[in-house]
Structure formats: structure tokens, C-alpha cells
Amino acid sequence: MQTLALGVLVDKLQDLERAAEYALNVNEKPVWSKLGVAQLDNKLASMAIKSFLNAEDPKEYMRVCNEANDLEIWDELIPFIKMARGK
């Protein structure tokens, strides 16, 4: 149900700020994961990395690495890669 609520914010209202607030309030891994994907779709790589770290979800590592490469945000990428290697 929480992921559905976040889905409305992300897909229908397209309000990522509210979605981030909601994820922070709920603090559930699937919610963070969905938010991360939405942020990645909207080219917000550094925020997406934080969301994936909260979700402990390395599934989208290819896209994350590509985006981080393009934006050259190595400092943010390192904790994500460490988490992904641990999984």
C-alpha cells in the first residue's frame, strides 16, 4: 500500500519532493527503492544513489554507474558500489 501511495506521487502527481518526504516518513525499503528508480528516471543520480542506499537495493547498478559516470559524482558512487559488492 505504501509503494502504491508513492506510485501516485511519482507517476501521477510527479512531485519528487513530496515523494522523498513520504519515503522519509515511512522508511520502508520497497518505498526507497521505488523512489530511487523514479529519481534515476528524472536524472537525479546523487539523490537516487542515497535512496538505493536506504533501500539496500543494488538491482539498478548498471544505470546508477552510467549516470554517475556521466555526471562524474564519484564520491557519492563509492558507498553504493560498496553496498552492491556486499550483496
Partner 1 sequence: MLKALAVSASLASLPISTTSLGKSQPKFYTNPNPYPNSNPNPIPNFLFLFLFPILHFLICAPALNMVRDVLGDVLVVGVIAVLLVSVCASSAQFLQNNMFYDSNLLGAFCEALDPSLSFEAYFEAYKCANENANLQNLLILTAMKAAPDKVMGYVDRLDNFHGPDIAKLAISEQHELFEEGYAIYCKFSKKEVRHNQQCNKTQHSTIQHN
**Where along the sequence are the contacts to partner 1 (CB under 8 A)?**
1-2, 4-5, 8-9, 12-13, 26
Q: Report the interhelical angle of 74-86 vs 45-55 (nearest 10°).
A: 30
Pick 8 or 24: Cβ nearer partner 1: 8
* 26/83 with CB nearer partner 1: 26
Nearer to partner 1 (CB atom), residue 13 or residue 78:
13
What is the nearest approach in angstroms of partner 1 to the Cβ of residue 29?
14
The closest alpha carbon to 69, from 52, 39, 42, 49, belongs to: 49
Residue ranges of alpha helices (H) inside the chain are 2-7, 16-26, 29-41, 45-55, 61-71, 74-86
Closest approach of partner 1 to the CB of residue 15, in Å: 10
